[in-house]
Structure 1
Amino acid sequence: MLRDLMAALALMLVIEGLAPLCVPAAWRATFQRMTGWADGQIRFAGLLSILAGVLLFTFVR
């Protein structure tokens, strides 16, 4: 179980690193726009990300 969790974390880090590596200007612009979001908007984006991950995990497993 721990091995699977570590593998998932490693894969997440690889995926997270793709945008700044491939399109740094677009990544920076998006990140700067997000800093202007209200806390509720950021929480909602986080919630959507979690739900998408859970759904994807459910379909994969």
Structure 2
Amino acid sequence: MFDIRTKDISTILNEIEAKRIELENYVKNEGMISANVIRTSQELDVLIYEIQKRQSPSK
């Protein structure tokens, strides 16, 4: 794991997105979908959303 305090948000977002895609590709290639894989992908989506919210200017 990396220390997110040392990276800018866009770098973190890119790394999270890459991991999510890697996970999805693994599932497609192996032909198996488990509850853990689905949960992990959903958790990554939530992390991406939360970081994007922080980037947005407060209204």
Q: TM-score, normalised by structure 2?
A: 0.46
More helix by share: 1
Given the two structures, how large is their TM-score scaled by the length of structure 1?
Answer: 0.45
Q: Of the two structures, which has the highest relative contact order with CA contacts closer than 8 Å and spacing of 6 or more?
A: 2
